[in-house]
């Protein structure tokens, strides 16, 4: 063990925390230590770090009940110091207490250190304020000295140096002196605390003494007596065991036959298990895949629920209604636009007819273009230059008809491409809808639907309440307006009456 560097190097022996009986015997083994050793460097950083580390390790190894660390011991308070001091002393004397002594904790600590032979002085002020920079080194040195004393005493007690063996006792056994010492120490503690010794403790010491002297323990003696009684009862009842033995033999023969049948069945089942094991693995793999798919579907459902909640929170229904309204308005305007275009073309044709003679081939040409232009795909026809010809633009059947045929073919190709793209998109959307529908059917969306229906009902109730509030507000406004009108009318009447009274008063003044 590392020696305390704060103690003088010429110290002959260290005073130990021993009971009164053992201290009197140990005092005759060596000379007394020096009463005032030489100075020590307790304020050095190396000493403080070493003492703090050793104290933390000892407290952790001895089951210190409070929280302890090197950070706490860098600047501890008085409570921490008193708890550590009491824990160190209780390693030797379990009955030691600081609070029940009738003295202050710092006075009790100083008296205990003085009784134990601490060779240095320690003030009460340092113990009361250990967090002070000038006080902590001396307090730490006292705790480190006490820790080393406790450690040396534990090693001394645990070793065989203070206990002697009996003359005919082997070294592998426990020294009888240790047993007698522990019995005396237990009795001393019982007398000091005024409590009775536990019977189990007395029985434990008795077993240890019997083990040293080679005697049978009480438990073994009771077990032997119980076994002897059991054997005697078995011998008394063993007279008519012959018939029972024959019956047991027959039972044993039957059990052997059953065992053979069970082994045959076990072999058959093992062979069947080997055959079914690949199928089981396949089913397990399918189960795992289905479980993963279910988890994926659950995640998708959770995402859909979150999306629904987010849409509901952000007013998605209102936005959707606005979108539908705008879409209908846009479609109506497109329809109006197409009607206006057709009306414009009709008017242009009528105008051309009024301005000059229109050949029958010209009308047939325009009817052909009108039949080629598919409704809803006017943009494709416009891109292909399929438009109604007017008389003012000039018309030559020889040059325009081949151009119309080429434009019609291009229009047909583009129309087919647009139709194919629309069909592919419809098929893709239908497939996605089927997948989502299948996923929704696999999942339990009853709760979500019920929640949505509940929210719809609540929304309807809120709308009804708002309508009722609006009606009540309108009625209140009407009442207020009526009352305001009544008050206004009344005030006008009062003003007129006031003016009349003033005139009458003026007339009376003039008359008098």
User: Per-residue confidence of the chain (512 residues) as pLDDT tens digits?
Assistant: 333 333 333 333 333 334 443 343 333 333 334 443 445 678 888 998 999 999 999 999 988 998 888 888 888 898 999 999 999 988 888 778 888 667 888 898 999 888 888 989 888 898 888 888 898 999 999 999 999 988 887 776 665 555 555 555 555 566 666 777 777 777 877 787 777 878 788 777 777 777 766 676 677 777 888 887 877 777 666 656 666 677 777 777 877 787 787 778 777 777 777 877 787 777 777 777 777 877 887 788 788 778 777 766 766 667 777 778 888 888 888 888 878 877 877 776 666 656 554 555 566 666 666 666 656 556 665 656 566 666 545 556 566 667 667 766 776 777 778 778 878 888 888 888 888 777 766 665 565 566 666 766 777 777 787 777 778 777 777 777 787 777 777 777 777 877 778 787 777 767 65
pLDDT of residue 53: 92
Please give the CATH superfamily to which domain 20-158 belongs.
Ncd80 complex, Ncd80 subunit (1.10.418.30)
pLDDT of residue 231: 74
pLDDT of residue 23: 41
Angle subtended at Cα 156 by Cα 151 and Cα 157, rounded to the nearest 5 degrees: 100
SS3 per residue for 329-376: HHHHHHHHHHHHHHHHHHHHHHHHHHHCCCCHHHHHHHHHHHHHCCCC
Specify whether the CB–CB gap between 48 and 69 falls below 8 A. no
DSSP letter (8 states) at residue 240: T
Specify whether the CB–CB gap between 32 and 40 falls below 8 A. no
Q: Where are the domains of the chain?
A: 20-158, 176-234, 244-305, 316-444
Intra-chain end-to-end CA distance of the chain, in Å: 133
- Kindly provide the b/e burial profile for residues 387-411, where b requires at least 16 CB atoms within 10 angstroms of the residue's own CB: bbbbbeeebeeeebeeebeebbebb
- 445 Cβ partners below 8 Å, 6+ apart? 301
pLDDT of residue 214: 67
pLDDT of residue 92: 82
Angle at which helix 45-61 crosses helix 78-90, to 10 degrees, equals 60
Q: Which of 349, 418, 394, 405 is nearest to 372 (CA)?
A: 405
pLDDT of residue 25: 35
pLDDT of residue 191: 80
d(CA 217, CA 197): 20
Task: For CA atoms 288, 294, 297, 298, give the dihedral sign.
Answer: negative
Please tell me the total number of residues recorded for the chain in this structure.
512
Dihedral in degrees, nearest 10, Cα atoms 424, 429, 430, 436: 150
């Amino acid at each position: 063990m590392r020696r305390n560097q704060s103690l003088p190097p010429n110290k002959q022996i260290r005073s130990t925390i021993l009971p009164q009986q053992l201290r009197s015997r140990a005092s005759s083994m060596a000379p007394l230590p020096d009463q005032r050793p030489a100075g020590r460097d307790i304020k050095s950083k190396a000493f403080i770090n070493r003492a703090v580390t050793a104290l933390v390790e000892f407290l952790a190894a001895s089951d210190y009940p409070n929280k302890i660390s090197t950070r706490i011991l860098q600047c501890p308070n008085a409570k921490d110091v008193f708890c550590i001091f009491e824990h160190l002393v209780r390693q030797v004397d379990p009955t030691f207490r600081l609070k029940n002594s009738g003295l202050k904790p710092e006075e009790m600590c100083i008296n205990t250190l003085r009784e134990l032979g601490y060779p240095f002085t320690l003030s009460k002020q340092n113990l009361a304020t250990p967090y002070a920079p000038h006080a902590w080194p001396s307090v730490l040195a006292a705790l480190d000295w006490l820790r080393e004393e406790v450690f040396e005493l534990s090693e001394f007690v645990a070793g065989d140096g203070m206990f002697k063996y009996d003359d005919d006792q082997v070294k592998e056994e426990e020294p009888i002196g240790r047993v007698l010492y522990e019995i005396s120490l237990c009795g001393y503690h019982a007398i000091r605390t005024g409590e009775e010794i536990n019977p189990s403790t007395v029985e434990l010491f008795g077993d240890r003494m019997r083990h040293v002297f080679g005697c049978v323990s009480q438990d073994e003696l009771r077990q032997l007596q119980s076994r002897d009684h059991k054997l005697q009862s078995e011998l008394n009842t063993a007279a008519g065991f012959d018939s029972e033995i024959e019956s047991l033999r027959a039972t044993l023969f039957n059990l052997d036959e059953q065992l053979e049948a069970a082994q045959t069945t076990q072999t058959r089942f093992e062979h069947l298990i080997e055959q079914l094991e690949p199928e089981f693995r396949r089913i397990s793999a399918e189960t795992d895949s289905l479980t993963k798919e279910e988890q994926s579907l659950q995640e998708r459902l959770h995402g859909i629920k979150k999306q629904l909640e987010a849409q509901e929170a952000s007013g998605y229904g209102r936005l959707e209604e606005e979108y539908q309204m705008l879409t209908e308005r846009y479609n109506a305007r497109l329809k109006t636009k197409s009607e206006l275009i057709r009306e414009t073309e009709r008017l242009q044709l009528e105008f051309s007819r009024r301005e000059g003679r229109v050949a029958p081939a010209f009308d047939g040409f325009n009817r052909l273009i009108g039949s080629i232009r598919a409704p809803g795909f006017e943009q494709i026809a416009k891109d292909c230059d399929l438009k109604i010809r007017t008389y003012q633009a000039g018309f030559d059947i020889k040059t325009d008809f081949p151009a119309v045929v080429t434009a019609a073919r291009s229009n047909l190709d583009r129309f087919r491409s647009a139709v194919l793209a629309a069909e592919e998109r419809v098929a893709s959307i239908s497939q996605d809808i089927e997948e989502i529908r299948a996923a929704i059917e696999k999942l339990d969306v009853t709760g979500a639907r019920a929640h949505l229906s509940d929210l719809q009902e609540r929304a309807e109730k809120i709308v009804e309440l708002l309508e009722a509030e609006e009606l009540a507000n309108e009625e209140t406004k009407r009442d207020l307006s009526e009352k305001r009108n009544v008050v206004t009318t009344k005030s006008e009447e009062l003003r007129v009456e006031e003016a009349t009274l003033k005139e009458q008063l003026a007339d009376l003044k003039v008359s008098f």
